[in-house]
Structure 1
Amino acid sequence: MPRFVCQVPVRWGDADAYGHINNVEQLRLLEEARVALFFVAARAEGISTFEGQLVVVSHTIEYKRPMYYRPEPLTIEVWVTKLAPSSVRIAYEVRDDSTVYALASSVLAAYDSGGSHVRRLNEAERSYLEKFRED
C-alpha cells in the first residue's frame, strides 16, 4: 500500500544550543505529518470525524542521525502498521533524499469527546486508514 508523504519545514528556532534540532521539536514535526494525514487529507476525502476525536496514547522515536536546520523541508512518510477496533498504530520515517534522521511510531485512540470515552473507528475511517496500511 502507498505511504502518506508530506513535506514538513524545519524552523530556525527548532535548534538547540548544540545546533541540532531539539528532540521535542522532532515530535512536533511528526505531529505536523499526523495532522496532514488525519485532518487535511482525510477531510479532502470527506472524512472529518477524526477532528477533535483522536488522542495520542503513546509515541516512540529512534533518532538515527543528527538533524540540523535546513531551508528545504524534510520528507515524512507515514503508514498504518496496526488497525484495531478503537485505535491505530502509525509509523513514520523522517528523511531527505539521502539520509534517514528518525524512525518513529504513535498509537492513537478514537475518542468520543462528547462522552469522554474511547470509541470504535467507523467504517469510513477504517477504509481511509486501510489505504495506508503496511504490515
Structure 2
Amino acid sequence: MPTPRSRRASRTASSPATSGRLERRVSRDRSPDRRRNPPLDVSRGESTARAHVDLELRWGDQDAYGHVNNVAYARYLEEARVRVFFTGAAREQTGMEGYFRGDRPDGPKMLVASQQIEFLGVLEYTSHPIVVELWVGKLGGSSLELHYEVLDGSAADRRVVARAITTVVIVDGATMRPIRLSEDGRAAVEPWTDAPLQLRRG
C-alpha cells in the first residue's frame, strides 16, 4: 500500500522526467568512500552478534509515490534468510548454513510460521544497497525467532527504516513435522543471538 507522505504523481521509467530523476539520484549516490561490503562500524551501533546482508534495490520496488513499497520488504527479509541460512552469502561467515539447507529430501527444512513488519520511515530508490541485520532473538526447541533491522544504506548515520520478526519452524523434510534442532545446529545458532526487538502492537 503506498505511504501518504509524498504527493508526487507516478511517472513511467521511460519518461524524461523520471530518467532525469534517476540520473540525479545515481550520480549523487556515487561517493568514492562507499564500499559494497564495508566492515562493521560499532560506533554506528552495528552488532557483532548480527549477520549483515547487503541487498541492491530495484527500480520496480517503488510504488506510485516513488517510495519502496511495503511488499518489497517481505522479499528483502526472505533474501536475507536465504543468504544467511542457505547460501552463506552474508558479510560474515556464520556457519549456520550447514544445518537448514534441506539438500536431502528427508533433510531439515525451515518453514515460516508467522511474520510481523514495523515500518519506521520512507525508503527511496538509491544505488546504495540496503543493509538487513539479522539475528536470533529467541531460540526454541524446534523454532527460531528471527529478528531484523533494515537500514538505509544511503544515510550518513545509522537509519533504521523497518524492523521485523519472523518465527520459523524446523521440520523433517519427509514428514513435514517439527523436529528439534540438533546439538550442532544449536551450537551454530547461539553465537548469533542478540536482544529481541519489542515491536509495537495493534
How does the TM-score come out when normalised to structure 2? 0.62
Q: Among all aligned residue pairs of Structure 1 and Structure 2, give the percentage whose two residues are the same amino acid.
A: 38
Q: Which has the higher contact order (CA 8 A, sep 6+)?
A: 1
Gaps of 5+ in 1: none
Letter in 1 for 2:190: E
Letter in 1 for 2:179: R
Q: Which protein has the bigger strand share?
A: 1
Partners of 1:80 and 1:88 within 8 A in 2: yes
The 4+ residue runs of structure 1 with deviation greater than 6 A are none
Q: Does 2:141 match 1:85? A: yes
Instruction: Find the aligned partners of 1:47 and 1:65 in 2 and give their Cα distance.
Output: 31
Name the larger-Rg structure: 2
Q: Deviations over 1:30-74 (max 9, x none)?
A: 1111111111229x6385331240000111111000111111100
RMSD between superposed Cα atoms in Å: 1.8
Aligned to 2:57: 10
Query: What is the aligned counterpart of 2:161 among 101, 123, 134?
Result: 101
Query: What is the aligned counterpart of 1:49 among 99, 112, 133?
Result: 99
Partners of 1:47 and 1:124 within 8 A in 2: no
Report how many aligned residue pairs link the two structures: 134
Partners of 2:136 and 2:146 within 8 A in 1: yes
How does the TM-score come out when normalised to structure 1? 0.91
The CA deviation at 1:125 is 1.4
Aligned to 2:131: 75
Aligned to 2:177: 117
